[in-house]
Amino acid sequence: MHSRRIVFVIFDGFQSLDLAGPHEVFQRAGGYDCTVVAPEPGPVPAESGLPVHAGHGVAGLRPTGVDTLVVAGGTGVYAARRDPRLTGWIAAAARGARRVASVCTGAFLLAEAGLLDGRRVTTHWARAGRLAREYPAVTVQPDPIFIRDGHLWSSAGVTAGMDLALALVEEDQGQKAALEVARHLVLFLRRPGNQSQFSVGLWSMQPSSDPVRRAVAAVHADPGARHDIAGLAAHAGLSPRHLQRRFTAELGIPPAAYVERVRVEAAQRALENGVDPVDVIARRYGFGTAETLRRSFQRRLGVTPSDYRDRFRSTSGEHL
Q: What share of the chain in percent tops pLDDT 70?
A: 91
The residues carrying an active-site annotation are 104
Q: Give the confidence band of 314 by pLDDT, cuts at 50, 70, 90.
A: very low
Q: Name the pairing type of β-strands 56-57 and 32-38.
A: parallel
Statement: residue 318 has pLDDT above 50? no
Alpha-carbon distance of 141 to 139, in angstroms, equals 7
Q: What is the pTM of this model?
A: 0.68
Statement: residue 188 has pLDDT above 50? yes
Mean pLDDT taken over the chain = 89
Q: Give the confidence band of 198 by pLDDT, cuts at 50, 70, 90.
A: low
Q: Is 53 exposed, middle or buried (0-12, 13-18, 19+ CB in 10 A)?
A: exposed
Beta strands in the chain (DSSP E): 4-9, 32-38, 42-45, 51-54, 56-57, 68-71, 99-103, 120-121, 139-140, 146-149, 152-155
Closest by CA to 71, choosing from 138, 157, 8, is: 8
In eight-state DSSP terms, residue 66 is -
Between 72 and 205, where is the model more confident?
72
CB 244 within 8 A of CB 255: yes
Q: Which tens digits make up the pLDDT trace of 24-43?
A: 999 999 999 999 999 999 99
Q: Which tens digits make up the pLDDT trace of 266-298?
A: 898 888 778 899 999 999 999 999 999 999 998
Statement: residue 143 has pLDDT above 80? no
CB 39 within 8 A of CB 86: yes
Mean pLDDT of 251-262: 90
Between 215 and 190, where is the model more confident?
215
Alpha-carbon distance of 213 to 235, in angstroms, equals 9
Beta strands in 143-297 (DSSP E): 146-149, 152-155
Closest by CA to 215, choosing from 292, 226, 293, is: 226
What CATH number is given for 200-316 in this structure?
A: 1.10.10.60
CB 105 within 8 A of CB 136: no
pLDDT of residue 135: 98
CB 216 within 8 A of CB 258: yes
Q: Where are the domains of the chain?
A: 4-184, 200-316
Statement: residue 54 has pLDDT above 60? yes
Alpha-carbon distance of 154 to 109, in angstroms, equals 12
What CATH number is given for 4-184 in this structure?
A: 3.40.50.880
H/E segment holding residue 306: helix 305-316
Alpha-carbon distance of 296 to 3, in angstroms, equals 43
Q: Name the β-bridge partners of 149.
A: 152
Statement: residue 122 has pLDDT above 70? yes
Cα Rg of the chain, angstroms: 22
Residue 97 CB partners (closer than 8 Å, separation 6+):
66, 67, 68, 69, 151
